[in-house]
Each structure stands twice: as C-alpha cells, then as structure tokens.
C-alpha cells in the first residue's frame, strides 16, 4: 500500500495539476505493492496509469482550440497534440532541472505576470543528433497540454526575401494567436550554409528578420529552437533566448536508464551493466533506444524468456558499426 509520503505527494501533485508527478507517484505505489507481494493490484494500477496517460487531457480553463493551420500557414506549420511526457525523457539531472523550471513557470505564469514577471518561454536546445531535442519539444507540449507546431523551415526560406519575411510574420502572428509550443527545428538552416540560396546577403537578411521577430515576440507561446550545429548560429541568436540548454551524449547511467525505460515492459535478465556501458559508449539516446528495441525483438522471436546482456551488447555493437560507417 501507499506510504504516508506517497499519499501526500499524490494530493500535492493533484493540487498543482502536475499529472506527470501524480502518475510517477502512482507507479511508485504500484512498485511498492509488487514488492510487497500484491502483484495483481500492482498490475491493475500500472494498467490504469497507462490507460489514463493516453487520454487527451485539457488544462482547466484553457480549451484547446481547433488549430489545424489553414491557407498559406498550412505550408509553414504542422500541428500535433503529442502524447509524449517529460517522464518519457531520460536526461542529465541538470537538464531536467532546467526543463522542470520551464514547466513550473509556464504552469504558474498567471501568478508571475500578475507581479510583472514573464515566464521562461524561449529555449534554444543544442546537442548531437538523437539526444532528445525534438522529443523535448513534444514533451513540453504534452505536459503542458498544448499543441505542438512544427515550423517547416524549408517552406519558409524562399528565393525572395520579401516573401520570406512575410512568411515569418505569418508564423510569429500564429504564436500570438494560438498558444502552443512552436518548434523551429534545425534552426541553423536560417543562418548557415544550409540555407537554400547561395546569396550571402540574402541569408543575412533572412536571419536578421528572424532575429527581429524573435525580439518583438511578446506572445504566451513557447518558442523552442533546436540545432546540432551551434557553431553555425549567429552570436546574436543566443542572446534572444531565455535559456540555452546543452544536450550531451548519454553517460553510462543515462544509457542504463534509456535501456530500462525502453524495455520497461520486457523481462530483463541479470544484466552486466558495466559491459553495456562499454558497448553503448558514444551512442546517442536514439541509437541506444533502437538497439534496445532490436535486442527485445530478437529475444521475443527466439522465444527467450528475457533480454540478456549478450543480446544487448550485440545490438549496441551493431549500432556502433553503423554510426562509424
Ligand atoms: N533523452 C532521451 N530520452 C529518451 N529517449 C530519447 C532521448 N533522446 C532521444 N530519444 C529517443 O530517440 C528518438 C529521437 O530523438 P529526437 O528526435 O528527440 O532527437 P534530436 O535530439 O531531436 O535529434 P536531431 O538532432 O537528429 O533532430 C526519440 O523519439 C526517442 O525514442
Ligand atoms: Mg530533432
């Protein structure tokens, strides 16, 4: 059964509207029950949490508008209502702390604004591929029950500067009109050599108008920009964000948590985590996730009753070989 602390945590997270915390505590109660031999109750509770987590939830007083972008915007933005939650992400403690801070300030923004403060809302996420930057934008939207708008930068950058600025304006108008998480993925495309046009002056102007819109943006939306080429970003860009967050490749502990997370519903044998750490070194969260899936599928198809160290090591080595290709 739940301990007194767990009951208090449940009530507190309910009062704060913190679903992630609430379900996390419920799962702790389930784990405790399982350890205490109440496996049936534990399973029922886990199933219940799984089912409830999948339900679309609405923030009280903030009905989600119908926001499928129309007209010209439809070529620039795509919208989704992610089911990803912050709890699905495995992060370094300091990265999680910084993101939790964003969530808290967003949830309590009315109180902050009433005293003349603005919540954290413009984030720049930097890190190698597959470390969870895009997933973070989804999880922020998921935890805050906001729509996620993905900005299509390729649709934005055109040969005609006048047009690009007009399109950028449409996007930034949307930020004010519909509160959401707006993800500018691979934002280096706006300021780097990957921009489709070859005219340097042209790129400069695109970047300048982006910076200008960014500066003028007073909306309630969250603006998340992500890149794995920070060196390609203009220095002026960094100043415009409330937080610049680095996403490192996983440490051994994080790698272990990624595997455990992905294989939460699968039986794990006795795993030699030291061997796993060696095999996973240098791989991203995404690669480790894929290797875990591979090992689990192998085990299921071979009718093994658990995923083994050897199975995981083979799958991780295979990923290593691929990433050095
Ligand atoms: N921190 C993480 N915790 C758990 N799973 C992760 C994490 N990072 C990545 N993954 C897994 O890898 C997938 C891809 O990650 P994601 O798209 O967020 O990477 P990214 O940092 O945006 O990479 P890119 O720079 O290539 O866009 C996720 O959908 C998830 O399955
Ligand atoms: Mg990404």
Distance of CA 311 to the CA centre of its chain: 28
Q: Which atom of ligand 1 is nearest to the CA of 286?
A: 12
Q: Is 85 in the pocket of ligand 1 (CB under 6 A)?
A: no
Q: Which atom of ligand 1 is nearest to the CA of 135?
A: 18
93, 124, 130, 139, best to mutate for ligand 1 pocket (most atoms within 8 Å of CB)? 130
Please give all residues whose CB falls under 5 A of ion ligand 2, grouped by chain where several chains appear.
Answer: 133-134
Q: Is 259 in the pocket of ligand 1 (CB under 6 A)?
A: no
Residue with tokens 């939207």: 141
Which pLDDT belongs to residue 165? 80
Q: Kindly report the protein residue whose alpha carbon is nearest to atom 25 of ligand 1.
A: 129
Q: Is 90 in the pocket of ligand 1 (CB under 6 A)?
A: yes
How far apart are the C-alpha atoms of 133 and 4, rounded to whole Å?
A: 37
Sketch out the chain's domains with CATH numbers. 4-53 (no CATH), 71-246 (3.40.50.300), 252-324 (1.10.8.60)
How far, in Å, from the CA of 124 to the mean position of ligand 2?
12
Which of these, 222, 257, 240, 53, lies nearest to 146 by C-alpha position?
A: 222
Strand pairing of 122-126 and 181-184? Answer: unpaired
Length, in residues, of the chain: 325
Which pLDDT belongs to residue 194? 45
Q: Which residues of 196-212 are buried (b: 16+ CB within 10 A; e: fewer)?
A: eeeeeebbeebbebbbe
Which pLDDT belongs to residue 195? 46
Sheet arrangement for strand 122-126:
77-80, 148-151, 181-184, 222-227, 122-126, 243-246
pTM of the model: 0.78
Mean pLDDT by 10 residues, the chain (325 residues): 86 80 89 90 90 66 53 83 94 96 95 94 96 97 95 73 80 92 87 53 75 91 93 83 95 96 92 96 97 96 92 96 83
Which pLDDT belongs to residue 159? 62
Q: Is 250 in the pocket of ligand 1 (CB under 6 A)?
A: no
Which pLDDT belongs to residue 173? 92
| DSSP reduced 3-state for 26 | helix
Which of these, 213, 220, 222, lies nearest to 190 by C-alpha position?
A: 213
Q: Which atom of ligand 1 is nearest to the CA of 90?
A: 3
Which pLDDT belongs to residue 160? 64
Q: Kindly report the protein residue whose alpha carbon is nearest to atom 29 of ligand 1.
A: 135
Strand partners, 260: none
Alpha helices in 181-280 (DSSP H): 200-216, 235-239, 252-262, 273-280
CB 20 within 8 A of CB 140: no
Which pLDDT belongs to residue 12? 84
Q: Is 228 in the pocket of ligand 1 (CB under 6 A)?
A: yes
Q: Is 95 in the pocket of ligand 1 (CB under 6 A)?
A: no
131, 181, 194, 263, best to mutate for ligand 1 pocket (most atoms within 8 Å of CB)? 131
CA distances from 129 to 25, 89, 226, 227, 323 (A): 32, 15, 10, 9, 11
Q: Is 227 in the pocket of ligand 1 (CB under 6 A)?
A: no
């Amino acid at each position: 059964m739940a301990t007194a602390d767990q009951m208090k945590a449940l009530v507190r997270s309910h009062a704060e509207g913190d679903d992630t915390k609430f379900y996390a505590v419920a799962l702790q109660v389930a784990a405790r029950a399982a350890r205490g031999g109440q496996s049936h109750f534990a399973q029922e509770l886990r199933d219940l949490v799984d089912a409830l987590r999948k339900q679309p939830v609405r923030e009280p007083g903030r009905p989600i508008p119908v926001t499928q972008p129309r007209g010209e915007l439809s070529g620039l933005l795509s919208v989704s209502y992610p089911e990803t939650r912050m709890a699905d992400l495995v992060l370094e403690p300091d990265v999680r702390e910084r993101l939790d801070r964003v969530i808290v300030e967003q949830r309590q923004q009315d109180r902050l604004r009433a005293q003349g403060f603005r919540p954290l809302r413009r984030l720049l996420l930097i890190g190698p591929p597959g470390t969870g930057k895009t997933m973070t934008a989804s999880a922020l939207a998921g935890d805050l029950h906001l729509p996620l708008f993905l900005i299509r930068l390729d649709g934005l950058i055109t040969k005609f500067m006048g047009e690009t600025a007009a399109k950028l304006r449409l996007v930034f108008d949307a930020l004010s009109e519909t509160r959401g998480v707006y993800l500018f993925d691979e934002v280096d495309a706006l300021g780097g050599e990957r921009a489709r046009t070859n005219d340097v002056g042209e790129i400069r102007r695109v970047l300048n108008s982006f910076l200008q819109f960014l500066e003028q943006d007073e909306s309630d939306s969250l603006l998340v920009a992500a890149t794995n080429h920070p060196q390609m970003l203009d220095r002026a860009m960094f100043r415009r964000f409330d937080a610049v967050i680095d996403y490192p490749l996983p440490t051994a502990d994080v790698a272990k948590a990624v595997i455990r997370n992905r294989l939460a519903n699968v039986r794990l044998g006795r795993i030699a985590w030291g061997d796993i750490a060696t095999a996973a070194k240098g791989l991203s969260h995404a690669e480790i996730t894929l290797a875990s899936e591979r090992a689990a599928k192998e085990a299921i198809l071979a009718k093994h009753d658990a995923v083994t160290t050897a199975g995981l090591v083979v799958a991780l080595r295979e990923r290593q070989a691929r990433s050095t290709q």
